[in-house]
Structure 1
Amino acid sequence: MPLAVYILGLSVFALGTSEFMLSGLLPPIAEDMHVSIPQAGLLNSAFAIGMVVGAPLLAVATLRLPRKATLIALITVFGLGQVAGALAPTYSLLFASRVISALACAGFWALGAAVAISMVKVNQRARAMAVMIGGLSIANVLGVPAGAFLGEQLGWRSAFWAVGVAAAVALVGVLTKIPHIPLPAERPELRRELRIYGDRQVWLAVVITALAAGGVFCAFTYLSPLLTEVSGLDAGWVPWVLALFGVGALVGTTIGGRVADAHLFGVLLSGITGSTLFLVALALFGSSPVAASALAFLMGVSAFYTAPALNARMFNVAGAAPTLAGATTTAAFNLGNTGGPWLGGTVVDAGFSYESTAWAGAAMTVVALGATAVALRVHRSRSRVVTGSAHLESPSSLAPVE
């Protein structure tokens, strides 16, 4: 695996920490900004909205720009967005800083994914994506719990400052370790890349990704108040439980990245099924601190075990448009990260308890399973057609039958 892929994975650590760290900071942010916890949870949705909008827009805008220079510009804007968040005096400005940071994050992720995929063979795509997703996993193991710890000890703004520093370190890595990346010999054409949206398998991949991610993050976004108000854990234990989710994510990414290239649909079906079962268990047994902590770990495993396969699937069905494939995957994940927290907040605002967010998340993953089954059926149907056509066109198929 090229060194540049690992550097991109390390850069994603800073991006992922910012995206997910609010799960451990909602109560202090809500108190400081004089908003409800569900309103504070919308800051996660703000980031996700920026990712959804930013990924395709920036992919199109940077289609013919130098790759390394674009990565440098995007990680710089992201870091400045963290500083703006740390200094934000009002909820509205904090919301805006999340959107700006997310736009830069989306562009970096989409372009970085396309660069990573271009550096490896087709049968190594899931492993390359697993390295990048590994940056998200490490963010959940170290960055998110560290953000929660800083929020508890020094105030939630300190977590934003810390991510700003991590972004500066990532910028140094991109400047010094990412080589010059030439544009393809054949210049990318927007019209040709946009043709992927005429393929229903692309849209099925979007639906599966959004629902699989959204189901888990519907519950994960509100894990901190669930642990303190339903499970009865002291707030000081929350970072450790978030770290368990991160350890699970690292385990899941490692396994999924190794298996998905050979058994892509097997990983999708087993991983989404696992997420569904763990969400139902969290809804039923969330009042037990031991069960809630163990299920946080297992949800991390199942969600990130599935992630390399979800990414690889999009690149497989949209192979003629690698830049937009990366952007579309990013947008799909963040459609889930928008819809999941929104649905969870709606459930809580309706007067239900925090464990009800797990029921809502399970409903999303059940639909994702159905969409995966449809995608598998279409895939098998197309494979039979291609195999049959190849057989008819082969010389041996024209030989007389004896």
Structure 2
Amino acid sequence: MAIVTQLNTPTSPAASAASDPGSAPTTGKAAAALLALSIGGFGIGLTEFVIAGLLTEVATDLEVTVSQAGRLVGGYALAVVPGAVAITPLLMRRPPKYALALLLAFFVVGNALSASAPNYEVMFAGRIVAALAHGGYFGIGAVLAAALVPAHRKASAVAALFAGLTVANVLGVPAGAFVGQQFGWRSVFWIIAGVGILALAGLIALVPRTRPEQNQLPLRQQFRALARPQVLTSLATTALVFGGMFGTFTYVEPLLRDVTGYSAPAVPWLLVLFGVGLLAGNLIGGRAADKHPDNAVLVLSILLPAVILGLGAVATMPLPTAVMLTLLGAIGFATVPGLQARVLRHATGAATLASATNIAAFNLGNTIGVSLAGAALAAGHGLRSPTVTGAALTLVGLALVVAARLATRRRNAPPR
């Protein structure tokens, strides 16, 4: 979903690779390779988001506050940025299969370190090591997925890669919360490390060796493309809009338990509702972005702060809270396709680096959102304060959306 815009351009490296009759595997082999890539996406999505359903357990075991435990989410998200911006360019010149294998090795080591961490500091280090794989895996993996199939199936191939990320949120996070409550949070990270090993084995056995991208701009010019004003504005919008949503979601587990009054066993089922909303939002947002990406981003950026504030307003009422949590997933993740499409549209000639950088922007926003929410909690403003900080961030993002829209209109207006 996130890289579909790139696949329709005539200069797409993936398109040129797939047009070579000898470069695309048969249908059965391509399906197996895409499954291996999707398993890696599932594991990476799970390791980022699962801790949101285990915040209380992690904080208790590591003897830190809930706010400090939340920084394990923000620290991961922040580490995605150098992983995407620095590591991805280094790996783009290598065969994608080998680049992804190296990234998955980082992922496995990081999660094993987290699972065995004797204290908070080691846990934090493990999160950072695992995060280094995130941006490059989806940036490079999307181009590789498209190169595995004929031209008319490229969008479906990329969707298969990102299906793992979606399934991680819809099913993996609630299941992880349940397993963590039954067998301890460390067991969840051992399972995630096992998923990484499975993905690595599948990558080695099932994914064919393909050439690196042949039609890339020189690396310096790619970074210049990222420095274009519209690209920078789009990246900032991504960080602010998504950061507001994620800052709210990170602390939703203690909100549900201590403010709304849900029991601990009910939390995984409520996270399923969030995941269902996420899935619906991905589908709706993708279709809207295909037709009118800028309008979709504008409308969703207006709705999102209203939903976040609504969640805080009804947090003492169980049923309305469940409804608003579902809407948070739907509206929050519906913004993703439009935000990705906007960045790629303005970063012509640097599609892979732009894809990875926009993923970094999502995670930088996560860091900002989690940090602001954690600061509000640490200052004693209560478990509903993350909804206020989250809404404030999304409103700043909305202001950027409006400013960029007005600038585009002025630039395209005929001279008087």
Alignment partners' CA distance in 2, 1:106 and 1:291: 35
State the alpha-carbon separation in 2 of the partners of residues 384 and 122 from structure 1. Answer: 37
In the alignment, which residue of structure 2 is the partner of 1:262?
Answer: 291
- The structure-2 alpha-carbon separation of the partners of 1:214 and 1:186, relative to structure 1 and needing over 3 Å to count, comes to closer
1:220-239 correspondence runs (5 A): 220-239=249-268
Q: Describe the superposition over 1:162-217 as per-residue Cα deviations: whole angstroms up to 9, x where unpaired.
A: 11122222223323443333123346521111111331111111111001111111
Alignment match, 1:166: 195
CA separation of 1:132 and 1:304: change in aligned 2, threshold 3 A: farther
The answer to whether the 8 A contact 2:135-2:357 is kept is: no
Pair 1:70 & 2:103 matched: no
The answer to whether residue 60 in structure 2 is matched with residue 31 in structure 1 is yes
> Secondary structure of the equivalent of 1:319?
coil
Distance (whole Å) between structure 1 residues aligned to residue 107 and residue 39 of structure 2: 15
53 and 185 in structure 1: CA distance in 2 versus 1, 3 angstrom threshold: closer
Determine the C-alpha separation between the residues in 1 that align with 2:378 and 2:246.
17
Amino acid at match of 1:174: L
Alignment partners' CA distance in 1, 2:294 and 2:118: 47
SS of the aligned residue for 2:339 comes to helix
Note if 1:108 corresponds to 2:141: no
Does 2:57 match 1:57? Answer: no
- 1:61 Cα shift? 1.4
| 1:274 shift after superposition | 2.2
Tell me what 2:368 maps to.
Answer: 339
- Alignment match, 1:353: 382
Q: Percent sequence identity over matched residues?
A: 39
* Counterpart code for 1:249: L
1:373 alignment counterpart: 402
8 Å contact from structure 1 (residues 196, 321) kept in 2: yes
Name the CA distance, whole Å, in 1 between partners of 2:120 and 2:36.
Answer: 34
State the secondary structure of the residue aligned to 1:330: helix
Alignment of 1:215-364 (within 5 A): 215-364=244-393
C-alpha deviation, 1:116, in angstroms: 4.9
Greater shift, 4-13 or 354-363, is seen at 4-13
Kept after mapping to 2: 8 A contact 1:114/1:326 = no
Question: Which among 205, 212, 222 is matched to residue 183 of structure 1?
Answer: 212
Normalising by structure 2, we get a TM-score of 0.86
> How many angstroms apart in 1 are the aligned matches of 2:406 and 2:153?
24
Q: 1:209 aligns with which of 238, 246, 250?
A: 238
Displacement of 1:304 after TM fit? 1.4
Select between 348-357 and 190-199 the one with higher mean Cα deviation.
190-199
Runs (5+) with no aligned partner, structure 1 = 389-402
The alpha-carbon deviation at position 67 of structure 1 amounts to 1.0
Instruction: Give SS of 1:260's match.
Output: helix
1:396 is matched with: none
Range 18-27 or range 180-189, more displaced = 180-189
1:98 aligns with 2:133: no
The AA in structure 2 aligned to 1:298 is L
What TM-score, normalized by structure 1, do the two folds share?
A: 0.89
Report if aligned partners of 1:134, 1:250 keep a CA contact under 8 Å in 2.
no
Question: CA contact under 8 A between 2:92 and 2:140: conserved in structure 1?
Answer: no
Deviates more, 1:165-174 or 1:233-242: 165-174
Shift of 1:377: 2.8
Cα 1:21–1:314 change in 2 (3 A) is same
On the 8 A contact 1:130/1:308 being kept in 2, the answer is no
Cα distance in 2 for residues equivalent to 1:40 and 1:260:
35
Q: CA RMSD in A?
A: 2.5
CA deviation profile, 1:256-302 (whole Å, cap 9, x unmatched): 22231221012212222222111010111111121221111111111
Matched residue SS, 2:211: coil
Residues in 2 aligned to 1:163 and 1:372: alpha-carbon distance in whole angstroms: 37
Residues 288 and 127 (structure 1), Cα distance of their counterparts in 2 relative to 1, 3 Å cut: farther
SS of structure 2 residue aligned to 1:182:
coil
1:152 equivalent in structure 2 = 181
**CA pair 259-181 structure 1, distance change in 2 beyond 3 A:** farther
- 1:58 Cα deviation (Å)? 0.8
How big is each residue's C-alpha offset from its partner over 1:91-114, in whole Å with a ceiling of 9 and x where there is no partner? 100000000000122221222244
In the superposition, relative to structure 1, how do residues 307 and 359 fare at CA in structure 2: closer, same or farther (>3 Å)?
A: same
